Structures are given as structure tokens and as C-alpha cells.
A and B are shown apart, each in its own frame.
Chain A
Amino acid sequence: MGKDRELILVYSSMDSVRDMRDINVMVTPQFYTLKKEALPVKYAYQAKRVAPAIFDGLLEDSSEYEYMVFKDGDDDEWTLIAYNLNKIRSFLLSKGFVIDTISKLFFAQQVVDMFDRPVAIGDSEALVSLEGSVVVVPSVALSEDEKPSKIFDDSFTPKRGVGIKNASANSIISTKQSIIFSVIFIAFAIMFFVEGARYGSSSQAELKIAELYEAYPSLESSYTRDSIIKKYKSIDKIERRKRDIIKKISIMIFDGVSLASLNINLNGFKANIICKDAKVSKRVKALSLKEGFKTIQIANSNDMLIEGSL
């Protein structure tokens, strides 16, 4: 993505540009501050972490600066570049660049070896490597054999660059906010998925059913179950009713009451109860009516005929 685009050298005295699209830019030391330090660290991210302390006092407002670090050789010396991306963007905009069409930002220091011969920037200045640092020098300061002769082109493109597009320029929310929100949402999403997966596991009832299916394989069919229920439920209901009637009739047999006859068949029941006097008869009648039985007092006697269906 980096090397297949045109590389434009950006310097403070440059003219405005037009229709510059899909490009990379390389800035001169006019846009960054350079330091070389021997640091007892192994990795770039460690060097980047200590970079603000190294530039302490050198920068106007260090909070606005970002840093690029890289190693030139095998020794402990690190090259640290501090740059203000907002300032660079502002400058590019003022010169007619469209920021969104710029892919990468590079620093001249990244390709210090390429500046072994001076490269002209404008009419009066040149970029040249001096003691391992790329610097801007007035053209007049260069001797005749050092006059700018090298042409700046895409071959100057380093491997690593900095993204210059300000993704959040038109955004309502900043990158930091978007990261925070995303992390919160993803955390909730994980929670919901885990919770959902947990609910999806087998319930106690299902496990119990599986056990019963194992013990009674024939009951696995709902048709069989319905057929058994239909057959035995009606038997169960009627037989419970018959036994219930006998128990209720037996409750009516107390002192002064005797059972003359009781008949229970498939259609209903009929009981003839002999009561010794009207008071007992009245009590039996009350008990019978309470149970919802049809109660008839036999004419000219205290005896009761109780009947009902099943």
C-alpha cells in the first residue's frame, strides 16, 4: 500500500498543490524534532514509552506530540522523532492537500542514507545527511561539488509510515470513546451469549423425562400415553367415585340410624336408611343434601331413600 503511491516531499517553503490524490508524503526536519539516544531497552514500544521524557523541555506543548522510534544499527542507539500531527495536517491542508487521500506520512530521517547527496527543496534550500541526521541547509552553504544533484522520487519511500488520516475528524465520537464503547458493548455481548448458552442446556424436567423413557420405552409415543390415560383415567374416576359414595354413606350411619340396603351398580347407587325418629331423619337428610345426593323421605315413616348417579 505504501510504495505503490507517489511520494511527495513536504517542506515549509513549498508551493501549493492541486489534484494530489492517493499519495504518500515525506516531511523534512522542519516538521519534526529529532533525538538520538542510547536506551537500555529492547523493544520499540519500550523506547516509545520513554520518548516523552527524552524530549522533555524541547517541545512547546509535549501533550500534542506523537513519537516514532526506530533503531539505525545493532547498537543501543535509538532514533526518536517527535512530531505534531495536527500541525502537519494543518500545513498540508493550507497547501491544498486532501488529507483523506494521503496514505502515509514518512520522515526524511527514516531514509537518512538516501540523502548522502543533497536533495533540493525549493530554490534556496537542500536536504542532506550530516553525521547521521537529515538536515535542511541553505543551498549557498554547499560547495560546488555538493550542489543538489539527487532527484527525490518514490525510491525514498521507507517501509514504515504513520497514518495521517484523521478518522475522527468528522466523527461525533472520538477514537478513545469508540474503543471504550466497543469494549463495553462486546463485554455485554459475551455476557449475553454465555448466559444464553447456559440457559440452552437441558433442564431437570428433560433429564427426568429421559430417565422415564429409558424405564418405559413404550411411553415415548404421546399416542400411547394418551391412549393409556384415556382408558385408565375414566376407570380411575368412576371407581374413586364409587368408593367415595360408600364412605359418605357410611358417615351417615350413626346412633339411631341403620342401613337397610345399599346397591351400587354401573349406573348409580341407591341406599335405604332407617332412622329411629324425625330428628335423626332430619340430620341424615341434611348430610345427604350436603353431599349432593337425591334424598327422598319414605311416606309415613322416618326412613330415607338416597340415590344418585356415578
Chain B
Amino acid sequence: MNWKNYQNELIVLFAFLVMFSGYIYKTNTIENEAISAIESQKTLLDMKEVIALKNLWTDKKTSQRVKQLQSIVPISKVNWSNKRKKIKASYRGLSARELNSLITKILNLPVEITLLDIQDISKSYSVEFQCKW
């Protein structure tokens, strides 16, 4: 078989193969890019979540903010114990308003509540609060 007889077809075939390989290259690149974009997006979301969680639950200012629970009501109503990032606090004779401010403050602190016990004793409230961070 004399290939030179078909040189036109061979040239066109070669050009077509170049085009086809270009198309395969493009398609593969797009597919890989899509997979990589999904993976990157997932990693990015993971990292953002990790950073947000770490920043929230290992905030160095938490200790200072927790101390405010001691002064939020008159000192005579508080029995306070603070040991190594653990708080045990007892509040006695709180008015409804004082109870509300205390609970609002507690809810906004990034601490692990181990105990919150509220008792209504003759229209005044007593609170047992334990937490760690």
C-alpha cells in the first residue's frame, strides 16, 4: 500500500487527531478542575469551620469574661470559686431582673455549662452554676 496516495487523508487525519487530543486534554482538565474545585471548596469550608470553632472555644479572653459573672450581681449574693478554668458559683436572693441579666450573660459566654440549677424560693431566685472552658 502506497501511503503517499492517501497523503491528503493522512494530513486531515493527523490534524483531526491533534484536535481530538486537544479536546480530550480540555475535557480532562475541566473535569479535574471541577473535582479539584469541589475538594478545595470542601477543604476551605473545613478550615473555616476549624478556625471558627478554635477561635470560639479557645478564646483567651474567656477567663476575663467569666469573671464578670462574679460582679454582675451584688457581691453579697455570690459565693464564687474559680479553679483552673472551672467555675463553681452560687447565687442567692436574686430578683427576676438580676436572674435575667445573669442568664443572658451566661448564655453569651463560650463555656461548657456543667450545671445550671435555678430555684424559685419565695419570689427570689437561687442559682447554682458550674462551668469549664
Given contacts A190-B22, A199-B29, A212-B47, contact A178 B118 (CB under 8 A): no
Contact with A along B88-127 (1 / 0, CB 8 A): 0000000000000001000100111111111110000000
| CB-defined contacts of B44 to chain A, threshold 8 Å | 205, 208-209, 212
Please report whether the interface of chain B is mostly helix, strand, loop or mixed according to DSSP: helix
Q: Min CB distance, B85 to chain A, in Å? A: 13
Interface members, chain B 12-26 (any A CB < 8 Å): 12, 14-16, 18-19, 21-23, 25-26
Specify which of B47, B103, B110 lies most central, judged by the most chain A CB atoms within 10 Å of its CB. Answer: B47
Whether the Cβ atoms of B19 and A192 lie closer than 8 Å is: yes
B4 contacts chain A at the CB level, 8 A cutoff:
yes
Whether the Cβ atoms of A228 and B53 lie closer than 8 Å is: yes
Whether the Cβ atoms of B4 and A100 lie closer than 8 Å is: yes
Whether the Cβ atoms of B4 and A209 lie closer than 8 Å is: no
| CB-defined contacts of B71 to chain A, threshold 8 Å | none
| CB-defined contacts of A261 to chain B, threshold 8 Å | 117-120
**Interface size of B as a range:** 35 or more
A14 contacts chain B at the CB level, 8 A cutoff:
no
Residue of B nearest to A216 (CB): B51
Whether the Cβ atoms of B107 and A243 lie closer than 8 Å is: yes
**Interface size of A as a range:** 35 or more
Q: In the complex, A258→B44 CA distance in Å?
A: 47
Q: In the complex, A140→B1 CA distance in Å?
A: 48
Number of A-B contacts (CB under 8 A): 164
Q: In the complex, A212→B52 CA distance in Å?
A: 12
B68 contacts chain A at the CB level, 8 A cutoff:
no
Q: In the complex, A259→B125 CA distance in Å?
A: 10
Which of A172, A189, A232, A250 is within 8 Å of B9, CB to CB?
A172
Q: Which residues of B contact A (CB under 8 A)?
A: 2, 4-9, 11-12, 14-16, 18-19, 21-23, 25-26, 28-30, 33, 36-37, 40-41, 43-44, 46-51, 53-54, 56-57, 103, 107, 110-120
Q: Which residues of A contact B (CB under 8 A)?
A: 100, 165, 167-175, 177-179, 181-183, 185-186, 188-193, 195-197, 199-200, 203, 205-206, 208-209, 212, 216, 219, 222, 225, 228-229, 232-233, 235-236, 238-239, 242-243, 246-247, 250, 258-266
